A and B are shown apart, each in its own frame.
Chain A
């Protein structure tokens, strides 16, 4: 270092008093001759990209650890000892580092790497599914040598081998970048694909008979930089240049992952994840990624139906809407607005929910409106000090009082898992059925339904746990872990947690796509109104003159199947708005065909209250219409005009009407692709202190019922690629309990509750809490809903041999 250098440096170190202090995280480096300010610890490849210098790469992915496998990102780095060739994804910036990404040496290296990568990679891009959107193809064109010195025969492997039911592997195309295997191990935690063998024989493989059956397998196809991995629902269906696309938000569950919806010839063909920093980091679950098949299904309702002597028959919209309006008018005449119930709205957009809330509350005048279907927690949970997903994933301690996130909110599971894996957070889990995050948990408490409060209090009394909770921020994820009990014990446990941790934030683990948006925009009871359970009970007692189901299938989704059945039989008139003729809508007198996801525009609200856009990419199936349009048309027929002529008007009306949605306009959302978080509006009842004393009775076991990712829901059941991934319902019992009950694994037994009984196969499952029986909800075969009484605090069970 020369004297003048030192002088300059000391001058820089003692800036004038009014200058801001130097950022301790700023690192000044030279990139291609220009000085840039990188961040401390930033990789050279990332710093360069942030400053507009894209360094070609195959293996590097900014959401996974760098491995330096592909060597494509070689650059020249001079750290004071002269230029050296270095992989830029493995080197962090250092003060005064000189980086050259364009030198003649770098160019030669890039040509060399590509020549070697192409030594075995087939040059048959025209028949490859990745052709046209292939990083290898693009970078060969941009950085390759143009020709190869290799004349030898290329390596050959058996053409595509299935590595799971959804993903195919063509090993000839694989360039061994380690992206899919890293994703499986680091991100998804399902390390069921691995490099096997060595040297020239290295290939990706699964263990024999253990396929890559990850809920997240589709992401490997998206991040594969070549055409080695293809997904069953899309492979060879379209060429990338024929695809049209629009950015949207997945509404399969309430996480609200950002997606790109792609179509060709007016048919949805593929969803790709978009990297939204506060939400999904580019990942999607397979259910959300592949359930577009259901939207393309031939079984969709193409036109409205009206019940005649011959059953439900297709009719015109005019006839159907008039019939629906007549049913509502008749109901009003027969019993007044209190005898009309409106359930649903959680599967549509904010606009759908808002328009339906206006119709239900203001036009019809019914107070009985609810978006939840007896399978969530009281809406008051939304009104607690709400956490965002980022709050949860950066909390010192994450308390889970929630269903298995891997099954119900898969991408939230990825975010929590990442927080644990990268040692940011410790997880304390309270669950009636250990699941996806149990292995990640610092402490996991399996409890018997009804005993949550005691379990939570006992945990809080543990000095080690108390010390951990006192260490920093705490985020609680609260949801309905067991459909076979009322919400009482869970709400009490949540209150116990909040009493001990008043600063803790709460993320509601509500499941259905836009349930938070629907609740916030008015799909909730007015004072004195009934929630879904009370509405169904009133219907079962013959006290509901008209039941309106807005994208809602109580027979499949309401935990108490018997009540749902009696309600549909007892309601005098039923109007259903649905995309499919479901078991519930088959009972309707009028069925209005609704446009599905991808067929309508609008906005949606995820579980943290984040409002993002949902975009239309294809025309609605048949003559089906968006829910908001149906609500508007019905209002007109009922004599009051909601005044909506376009979806944008509904968005604006919602922003004007609901205080916390003020400013959330189409224009504002266009400026913020990551969405805008809407606070919870006033007027949602707080959660009440409830008591739930549960005594033991003569029944031996207690029922736990919860959902798997793949179940009989229409989105899964109507997607051929996903439908067969749903398992048949079996009763999961701890092996020692199986012995105690005197039954045999694999045999059919009778499960009886005070409510009813079902015949079901027994399966041994060591993860099940002793004394409980776990049965997946809404699966083929035995229907566990027959055992559930929605008024009983818990569901006790007896297991008997047939």
Chain B
């Protein structure tokens, strides 16, 4: 079964509760499903549809629009090497060749052990740090081919587990909106009070006093 787990259903319902319309939660819930399995299964899509009151086809439409939602299994580590201008000028091709050689796969495929998936990527918004790459969307800057080899060794050995969680993990700290700061499930056209973020009150980021 690849529907959402009980714990994630609970979380999903909390997420849905943040929006005036349940279907606004489709993208966060797709992230949740991807976190659970590393990729998004058809069963998870159908389950999300049930949770937000949309058809499976509608969830599928949203899911397939976004590159970062993977409908096929990917490795535990998704390595995206930037190939846009700055990185291209500073050696991203060489980096890609080395990655392909070291991992023994072509860009776009996954190693037999299911650990690595290699992808070309467009600009990762770190042009001053070119050439750059991402592992599970965590940046690595000014990477040389040798550093790339070392990175792969480290990832294999699990040395970076604390820093780079498995593919699909969006954040390891869950966002929880305190009741007093929640906007509440009111559609914009139905709202009568000013938006909650304009009101005075404790900041979402305020630290609990010790």
Residues in chain A within 8 A of chain B (CB atoms): 185, 190-198, 205-208, 210
In the bound complex, what is the Cα–Cα distance between A504 and B67 (angstroms)? 54
Q: List, sorted by A's number, 6 A–B pairs whose CB atoms are closer than 8 Å.
A: A193-B57, A194-B60, A196-B61, A205-B57, A207-B55, A207-B56
- Inter-subunit contact A208/B54 (CB<8 Å): no
In the bound complex, what is the Cα–Cα distance between A256 and B60 (angstroms)? 37
Q: Are A192 and B55 also in contact (CB < 8 A) when A207-B42, A207-B46, A208-B42 are?
A: yes
- Min CB distance A559 to B, Å, is 35
- Inter-subunit contact A197/B65 (CB<8 Å): yes
In the bound complex, what is the Cα–Cα distance between A193 and B66 (angstroms)? 18
Taking CB atoms, residues of chain A closer than 8 Å to B55 are: 190-192, 194, 207, 210
Taking CB atoms, residues of chain A closer than 8 Å to B45 are: 207
- Inter-subunit contact B60/A205 (CB<8 Å): yes
- Inter-subunit contact B46/A191 (CB<8 Å): no
Chain A CB within 8 A of B5 CB: no
- Inter-subunit contact A198/B57 (CB<8 Å): no
Q: Are A196 and B58 also in contact (CB < 8 A) when A207-B42, A207-B45, A207-B46 are?
A: no
Chain A CB within 8 A of B64 CB: yes
- Inter-subunit contact B64/A197 (CB<8 Å): yes
Q: Are A191 and B54 also in contact (CB < 8 A) when A207-B42, A207-B46, A208-B42 are?
A: yes
- Inter-subunit contact A196/B54 (CB<8 Å): no
In the bound complex, what is the Cα–Cα distance between A212 and B42 (angstroms)? 17
Query: Residue-by-residue, is B40-66 near A (CB-CB < 8 Å gives 1, otherwise 0)?
Result: 001001100000001111101100111
Q: Are A198 and B64 also in contact (CB < 8 A) when A192-B57, A207-B56 are?
A: yes
The interface residues of chain B, by DSSP majority, are classed as helix
Taking CB atoms, residues of chain B closer than 8 Å to A193 are: 57
Taking CB atoms, residues of chain A closer than 8 Å to B64 are: 196-198
- Min CB distance A176 to B, Å, is 12
- Inter-subunit contact A206/B57 (CB<8 Å): yes
Taking CB atoms, residues of chain A closer than 8 Å to B42 are: 207-208
- Inter-subunit contact B60/A198 (CB<8 Å): no
- Inter-subunit contact A191/B65 (CB<8 Å): no
Taking CB atoms, residues of chain A closer than 8 Å to B65 are: 195-198
| Chain B positions 9-48 with a Cβ under 8 Å from a chain A Cβ | 42, 45-46
Interface centre among B46, B57, B58 (most CB of A within 10 A): B57
Taking CB atoms, residues of chain B closer than 8 Å to A205 are: 57, 60-61
Can you list the 7 inter-chain pairs with the closest CB atoms, starting with the nearest? A194-B61, A207-B56, A194-B57, A196-B64, A207-B57, A197-B64, A191-B55
* 13 additional contacts (CB under 8 A) given A196-B60, A197-B65, A205-B60: A191-B57, A191-B58, A192-B55, A192-B57, A194-B57, A194-B61, A195-B61, A198-B65, A198-B66, A206-B57, A207-B45, A207-B57, A210-B56
B49 closest partner in A (C-beta) = A207
- Min CB distance B208 to A, Å, is 42
Taking CB atoms, residues of chain A closer than 8 Å to B60 are: 194, 196, 205, 207
Taking CB atoms, residues of chain B closer than 8 Å to A194 are: 55, 57-58, 60-61
In the bound complex, what is the Cα–Cα distance between A325 and B56 (angstroms)? 61
B66 closest partner in A (C-beta) = A198
B46 closest partner in A (C-beta) = A207
Query: Residue-by-residue, is B82-99 near A (CB-CB < 8 Å gives 1, otherwise 0)?
Result: 000000000000000000
B62 closest partner in A (C-beta) = A194
Taking CB atoms, residues of chain A closer than 8 Å to B67 are: 198
B53 closest partner in A (C-beta) = A439
- Min CB distance A100 to B, Å, is 35
B67 closest partner in A (C-beta) = A198
- Min CB distance A161 to B, Å, is 14
In the bound complex, what is the Cα–Cα distance between A195 and B54 (angstroms)? 14
A185 closest partner in B (C-beta) = B58
In the bound complex, what is the Cα–Cα distance between A206 and B46 (angstroms)? 12
| Chain B positions 64-123 with a Cβ under 8 Å from a chain A Cβ | 64-67
- Min CB distance A197 to B, Å, is 5
In the bound complex, what is the Cα–Cα distance between A192 and B54 (angstroms)? 10
Taking CB atoms, residues of chain B closer than 8 Å to A197 are: 64-65
- Min CB distance A776 to B, Å, is 23
In the bound complex, what is the Cα–Cα distance between A274 and B16 (angstroms)? 42
A163 closest partner in B (C-beta) = B57
Taking CB atoms, residues of chain B closer than 8 Å to A206 are: 57
- Min CB distance B137 to A, Å, is 19
- Min CB distance A148 to B, Å, is 29
In the bound complex, what is the Cα–Cα distance between A194 and B42 (angstroms)? 15
B54 closest partner in A (C-beta) = A191
Taking CB atoms, residues of chain A closer than 8 Å to B46 are: 207
- Min CB distance B64 to A, Å, is 4
A197 closest partner in B (C-beta) = B64
A209 closest partner in B (C-beta) = B42
In the bound complex, what is the Cα–Cα distance between A219 and B65 (angstroms)? 27
In the bound complex, what is the Cα–Cα distance between A208 and B64 (angstroms)? 13
In the bound complex, what is the Cα–Cα distance between A208 and B71 (angstroms)? 13
A190 closest partner in B (C-beta) = B55
In the bound complex, what is the Cα–Cα distance between A210 and B59 (angstroms)? 13
Taking CB atoms, residues of chain A closer than 8 Å to B56 are: 192, 207, 210
In the bound complex, what is the Cα–Cα distance between A206 and B45 (angstroms)? 13
- Min CB distance B134 to A, Å, is 20
Taking CB atoms, residues of chain B closer than 8 Å to A196 are: 60-61, 64-65
A206 closest partner in B (C-beta) = B57
- Min CB distance B48 to A, Å, is 12
Interface centre among A185, A191, A194 (most CB of B within 10 A): A194
- Min CB distance A520 to B, Å, is 42
Taking CB atoms, residues of chain A closer than 8 Å to B66 are: 198
In the bound complex, what is the Cα–Cα distance between A205 and B65 (angstroms)? 13
In the bound complex, what is the Cα–Cα distance between A198 and B61 (angstroms)? 9
In the bound complex, what is the Cα–Cα distance between A198 and B62 (angstroms)? 10
- Min CB distance A12 to B, Å, is 36
- Min CB distance A204 to B, Å, is 10
- Min CB distance A47 to B, Å, is 27
B61 closest partner in A (C-beta) = A194
A210 closest partner in B (C-beta) = B56
Taking CB atoms, residues of chain A closer than 8 Å to B61 are: 194-196, 205
Taking CB atoms, residues of chain A closer than 8 Å to B54 are: 191
- Min CB distance A277 to B, Å, is 29
